[in-house]
Amino acid sequence: GENVEQHPSTLSVQEGDSAVIKCTYSDSASNYFPWYKQELGKRPQLIIDIRSNVGEKKDQRIAVTLNKTAKHFSLHITETQPEDSAVYFCAAKVGGGSYIPTFGRGTSLIVHP
Amino acid sequence: KAGVTQTPRYLIKTRGQQVTLSCSPISGHRSVSWYQQTPGQGLQFLFEYFSETQRNKGNFPGRFSGRQFSNSRSEMNVSTLELGDSALYLCASSWLGTSGEGEQYFGPGTRLTVT
């Protein structure tokens, strides 16, 4: 089955800096890569996603890049703010008839004011 | 549109007991998935139901089971509870197009504590 590795497990940055979280996946059939943000005590929420036919996608301060050859994808957050502090999960989903993503173990992002 | 709801939100049980958790998906969503979230293991997939049928199953013992009703509401059951079952149990619903694509929306979770 699919295996997703996520690094780093903890990331501490100063407000205004950029943050990058990286994930690798094992199954070349994976074609959908969502990223979720989970604030303390809250549910995971989708913040951005990318499909395998796209190399990069941006949404304001957030961007995701995908390298299918190397089987890795990354989340980039620019101009970080304290409210970006949360746990971020990457996931990979193999194409097919069901929606079962395999999640990475999460990255705890801490943005210091 | 109302979001995914889960009941109860908090639960304390004793080892050996059983528990049933409930999840109501977003209206129109036919797929419901269940996850176990623990600090050390992240989000672990339990099972997925679609149109009252279990379509996928994760690597959990048979003590974990579930079902889905005709209105897409889903329940999961854990029998013979163990201390290690203490976790946040999340359900997520999605609408499935013919291509199998569909964003997952998570519920708030049920925090289960086993003593």
Rounded CA separation A98/B99 (Å): 9
Rounded CA separation B79/B96 (Å): 30
B104 touches chain A (CB under 8 A): yes
> Helices (DSSP H) in chain B: which residue ranges?
none
Query: Which residues neighbour B109 within 8 Å (Cβ) at sequence distance 6 or greater?
Result: A43, B6, B9, B37, B88, B89, B90
- Please write the tens of the pLDDT for every residue from B41-67: 789 999 999 889 998 888 899 999 999
The residue with greater pLDDT, A53 or B25, is B25
For residue A43, the tally of other CB atoms under 10 A from its CB is 19
**Of B6, B43, B91, B103, which to mutate for an interface test with A (greatest number of A Cβ within 10 Å)?**
B43
Task: Tell me what pLDDT residue B112 has.
Answer: 98
Task: Tell me what pLDDT residue A77 has.
Answer: 98
Task: Tell me what pLDDT residue B16 has.
Answer: 98
Q: Is the pLDDT reported for residue A33 higher than 80? A: yes
Task: Tell me what pLDDT residue B1 has.
Answer: 67
How many CA atoms lie less than 13 Å away from B41 in the CB half-sphere? 15
> Sign of dihedral through CA atoms A37, A43, A45, A51?
positive
B42 touches chain A (CB under 8 A): yes
Task: Tell me what pLDDT residue A96 has.
Answer: 64
pLDDT band per the 50, 70, 90 thresholds, residue A98: low
Joined tokens for residue A104? 């990475």
- Which residue of A lies nearest to B37 if distances are taken between CA atoms? A105
Q: Is the pLDDT reported for residue A101 higher than 90? A: no
Task: Tell me what pLDDT residue B102 has.
Answer: 67
B33 touches chain A (CB under 8 A): yes
A-chain residues near B102 (CB < 8 A): 99
A-chain residues near B94 (CB < 8 A): 99
Q: Is the pLDDT reported for residue B13 higher than 70? A: yes
| Across A84-105, average pLDDT | 85
Rounded CA separation B64/B44 (Å): 13
B100 touches chain A (CB under 8 A): yes
Q: Nearest CB to A43: which of B33, B102, B109?
A: B109
Task: Tell me what pLDDT residue A53 has.
Answer: 86
Rounded CA separation B89/B69 (Å): 19
Q: Nearest CB to B108: which of A43, A89, A99?
A: A43
- Please write the tens of the pLDDT for every residue from B68-104: 999 999 999 999 999 999 999 999 998 875 455 667 8
Joined tokens for residue B41? 């293991």
For residue B77, the tally of other CB atoms under 10 A from its CB is 13
Radius of gyration of chain B (CA): 14
B94 touches B76 (CB < 8 A): no
Task: Tell me what pLDDT residue B94 has.
Answer: 87
